[in-house]
Amino acid sequence: MSAYKAFHERSVKDPQGFWAEQAQLIEWQKPFDQVLDYSNPPFAKWFVGGKTNLCHNAVDRHLKDRADQQALIAVSTETDQEKTYTFKELHTEVNRMAAILKANGVVKGDRVLIYMPMIAEACFAMLACVRLGAIHSVVFGGFASHSLASRIDDAKPKMVILADAGARGGKPVPYKPLLDEAITLSAHKPEKVLLIDRKLVEYNKVAGRDLDYATERAKVMDAQVPCEWLDATDPSYILYTSGTTGKPKGVQRDTGGYAVALAASMRHIYGGKPGEAMFTTSDIGWVVGHSYIIYGPLLNGMATIMYEGTPLRPDAGIWWQLVEKYKVSVMFSAPTAARVLKKQDPAFLTKYDLSTLRSVFLAGEPLDEPTATWLHGAINKPIVDNYWQTETGWPMLALQRGIEVMPHKFGSPGVPVYGYNMKLLDDSTGAELGADQKGVVAIEGPLPPGCMQTVWGDDERFVKTYWQTVPGKMVYSTFDWGIKDKDGYFFILGRTDDVINVAGHRLGTREIEESISSHPNVAEVAVVGIEDKLKGQVAIGFAIAKDANNTATLEAEILKTVDSQLGAVARPARVYIVAALPKTRSGKIVRRALQAVAEGRDPGDLSTLDDQSVLAQIKTLFGA
């Protein structure tokens, strides 16, 4: 049996013994009495009776051996600022932030909403919350007021921590007016707002509510705030899933299980070593930012780069310049970012010394073969796909190079990660499927440590949403459609709720997108299913051309390509050639908005869109 198979098999068959060993990667103030309590499925309680603290494990425990080692590297190409904090300096700043929160009545179990750009104070805020046992809820900076208000009403924070503005492309994006409007709209009124003034925009303070961070910090320069020892099962944070409609869905994460899962993943999946540096190009508003900008690297004794800016400012070499400067060994980004860089001068990819970089991990959306091949060829480093969700908090599918180096297969994020008992099930019968059969990607309970405990404040919604969608089985549904091959590699075909049912044929959007993207003049593509009176649904595509001057026959050529690769049944009804696709600030294509516009419906909450004008342009194609 291979090293991977033995490791994975043990994790599923003997979770108690397996996770007891992984738990030694963090420090416990009180050892746990029980590794797993699964007496009330699907609710899994990990490391019951144990007491620990995320901030202690991410910061304090490193003071003994690496106090003067770099820990946090805050870089903003928007404001041309760059500052490095050692573990000792990070500890000092987190204590100051914690002292401010404590002085304003924040205690264990209170919620603190963080509405911040990618600046060092955002890291201090997250760590200060978990230091006190307060539950942070980070909302992506710049979210619209209505969406922000719904999160305030759901989490009911005692305090909000805010920056006056973020920045995008050298222009300030004011946050304060958005928050003020959100608090006006919300039924729950936070007691205090702590404001970090970056001096980017003018703003008005609300007397009695708004506190100035610099003023408050000056009062607590020598503060020492001890860590609050929490039960392993105590919540650490709430993170709202992007693109939700109606009542927000807050993913609730525990403390001990999350710390153990991340520490183990740094060793077994990402291969980072204490003393090295990790550069994750996401945002703390997303789960990747929580797990692999803030907590994962710091738990592992690594430096982490927090980057405010785009991959193209001041030029397309900025990310690689940072890799060279800070001797980055592990990089984590998204396929969209790679596709953006692919359009730039290739000289930027060979300009800097990347000798310390061992791997580049990509996640957040399907990784297409042309992008993976191009990036690998350009920088000559392993490009490692991995697949996971806000709900899981860390990867479900990946090639786990810390256990065994396995061959990469294009289009596949890899094999099930240790701890996950992954299945492919028929969504209408619940039957388990074999190789090369399409089904729903599901996980048999219990979910491993680090995954969501429940939906914040709504256990019933947790059960109904995730565990009762496959007939006759209580299994966690990823809501993704996939297949696996004879070697156990999974291939994700698209969301089950985006599976297109054309005249009785079930088609994954991913398959059609892959086919369209193989056309040499297609830079990027999104496929959605829309209602059709005759066929039930039909596929339509939206494609960006590499050569915008040569599109006269492009749609016909694309349709011919799909015909030849997938057959006439998969051929889209139309492929619209567009200048841009609607995306979130993290680079994900918002397919639900495309579908709504194509069907003449209201696209709903668009607060996650990076550029609202893109959707307006696409509406004109449909006479809207």
Which tens digits make up the pLDDT trace of 423-461?
999 988 999 999 999 999 999 999 999 999 999 999 999
Nearest-5° angle of CA 264, CA 266, CA 267?
A: 65
Burial of 613 (0-12, 13-18, 19+ CB in 10 A): exposed
* pLDDT computed for residue 241 by the predictor: 82
In this structure, what CATH number is given to the domain that contains residue 384?
A: 3.40.50.12780
What is the chain's percent helix, strand, coil content, to nearest 5? 35, 25, 40
Residue 242 confidence (pLDDT) above 60: no
pLDDT mean over 493-504? 70
* pLDDT computed for residue 368 by the predictor: 78
C-alpha 550, offset from chain centre:
36
Within a domain: 390: yes
Within a domain: 483: no
Compare 303 and 367 and report the one with higher pLDDT: 303
Percent of the chain with pLDDT over 90: 76
pTM attached to this predicted model: 0.86
Compare 502 and 543 and report the one with higher pLDDT: 543
Residue 243 confidence (pLDDT) above 50: no
The DSSP output letter for 184 is H
Within a domain: 493: no
Same domain, 366 and 508: no
Beta strand ranges found along 359-420 (DSSP E) = 359-362, 383-387, 397-398, 415-416
* Measured distance CA(340)–CA(336) in Å, rounded: 6
pLDDT in tens, 134-178: 999 999 887 778 879 989 999 999 999 999 999 988 899 999 999
Domains held by the chain: number: 2
Within a domain: 486: no
* Measured distance CA(394)–CA(261) in Å, rounded: 8
Domain boundary among 477, 511, 546: 477
pLDDT in tens, 569-613: 788 999 999 999 998 877 788 888 899 899 988 887 676 777 888
Same domain, 506 and 459: no
Q: Find the domain containing 86 and state its range.
A: 3-477
Percent of the chain with pLDDT over 70: 97
Which structure tokens are listed for 124? 């201090």
HEC string of 40-104 equals ECCEEEEEECCEECHHHHHCHHHHHHHCCCEEEEEEECCCCEEEEEEHHHHHHHHHHHHHHHHHC
Residue 244 confidence (pLDDT) above 50: no
Same domain, 318 and 447: yes
366: how many CB neighbours lie within 10 A of its CB?
Answer: 21
Same domain, 341 and 452: yes
576: how many CB neighbours lie within 10 A of its CB?
Answer: 16
Same domain, 381 and 454: yes
In this structure, what CATH number is given to the domain that contains residue 545?
A: 3.30.300.30
Same domain, 466 and 518: no
Same domain, 447 and 508: no
Domain boundary among 427, 442, 477: 477
* Measured distance CA(33)–CA(534) in Å, rounded: 61
Over the chain, what is the mean pLDDT?
A: 93
Which structure tokens are listed for 152? 């305030």
Same domain, 145 and 257: yes
Residue 382 confidence (pLDDT) above 80: yes
Which structure tokens are listed for 583? 């995306």
Within a domain: 484: no
Same domain, 79 and 148: yes
Same domain, 588 and 535: yes
pLDDT mean over 230-251? 82
Within a domain: 419: yes
Residue 366 confidence (pLDDT) above 90: no
Within a domain: 601: yes
Same domain, 53 and 150: yes
* pLDDT computed for residue 340 by the predictor: 85
Q: What would the DSSP string read from start to end of 253-284?
A: E-SHHHHHHHHHHIIIII---TT-EEEE-S-T
Within a domain: 494: no
* 241-246: long-range pairs with CB below 8 Å, 24+: 241/390, 241/391, 242/140, 242/286, 242/390, 242/584, 242/586, 242/588, 242/608, 243/584, 243/590, 243/592, 243/605, 243/608, 244/605, 245/604, 245/605
Same domain, 322 and 354: yes
The band of 503, judged by pLDDT with boundaries at 50, 70 and 90, is: low
Residue 245 confidence (pLDDT) above 70: no
